[in-house]
């Protein structure tokens, strides 16, 4: 590998990078499954609200839908960062394919 001319050399410990990458992958996996407890809490909320549940349903469903979307984006971001951690170049074509959400570059 060639060394840069001038300036500081950037270096990182491989063990630290692998640990950080694994932690990000794990976080991404937990975020990808985050909709499950939200759906369960939503169902419990509406059931517990009794007659008022019908009035809360639209707003509660919108809340769950929006947070499910947020968690999906964060999960994708964790995977992209984990896959590119310690690199100086990011392959956006590979990132697009890995995300699987049909992003167009």
Query: Is position 20 within any domain?
Result: no
Query: Is position 89 within any domain?
Result: yes
Query: Is position 78 within any domain?
Result: yes
Residue 104 predicted with pLDDT over 50 = no
Query: Is position 39 within any domain?
Result: no
Domain range for 86 is 73-100
Residue 10, pLDDT score: 73
Percent of the chain at pLDDT above 70? 77
Q: What is the CA radius of gyration of the chain?
A: 20
Query: Is position 27 within any domain?
Result: no
Residue 12, pLDDT score: 83
Sign of the four-CA dihedral 27, 31, 103, 63: negative
| Spatial contact of 80 and 95, defined as CB atoms under 8 Å apart | yes
Query: Is position 30 within any domain?
Result: no
Query: Is position 94 within any domain?
Result: yes
**Total residues found in the chain within this entry:** 105
Residue 105, pLDDT score: 40
Q: Phi and psi of 6, rounded to 5°?
A: 75, 160
Percent of the chain at pLDDT above 90? 63
Residue 2 predicted with pLDDT over 90 = no
- Rounded to the nearest 5 degrees, what angle is found at the Cα of 100, between the Cα atoms of 99 and 104? 85
Q: Which residues contact 100 (CB under 8 A, 6 or more apart)?
A: none
- Total number of domains in the chain: 1
Query: Is position 68 within any domain?
Result: no
């Amino acid at each position: 590998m060639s060394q840069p001319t001038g300036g500081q050399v950037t270096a990182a410990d491989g063990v630290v990078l692998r640990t950080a990458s694994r932690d990000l992958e794990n976080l991404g996996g937990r975020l990808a499954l985050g909709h499950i407890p939200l759906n369960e809490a939503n169902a419990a909320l509406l059931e517990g609200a009794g007659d008022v549940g019908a009035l809360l349903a639209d707003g509660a469903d919108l809340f769950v839908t929006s947070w499910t979307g947020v968690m999906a984006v964060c999960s994708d971001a964790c995977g992209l960062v984990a896959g590119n951690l310690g690199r100086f170049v990011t392959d956006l074509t590979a990132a697009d394919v890995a995300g699987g959400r049909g992003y167009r570059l």
